[in-house]
Amino acid sequence: MALPDIMAYLPIIIPLLILQVTLMITALLHLVKNERLDRNNKIVWALVIIFVNLIGPILYLIFGRKED
């Protein structure tokens, strides 16, 4: 794949990258502040958030948050 080919995909890649980083930071900040999860669950959720890319933070924000 030549450099001009990659440049054609930048308008798609950059917004997805920004979305990924924003979701990851939001989910990790919420995870750190969440006092209802024990340490082991926080570690598992942190690994899911970080390594499952775009879906990991969304899964945490939907299923992992234990709101009042």
Please give the pLDDT value at position 8. 84
Please give the pLDDT value at position 47. 93
Q: Is 49 left (phi over 0), alpha (psi -120 to 50) or beta?
A: alpha
57: closest CA among 35, 26, 32, 12?
26
Residue with tokens 């709101």: 67
Angle between helices 39-51 and 3-33 (to 10 degrees): 170
pLDDT tens over the chain, length 68 residues: 566 777 888 888 899 899 999 999 999 999 999 888 889 999 999 999 998 877 888 888 888 876 53
Please give the pLDDT value at position 68. 37
Please give the pLDDT value at position 13. 87
Cβ atoms of residues 39 and 10 within 8 Å? no
pTM of the full structure? 0.74
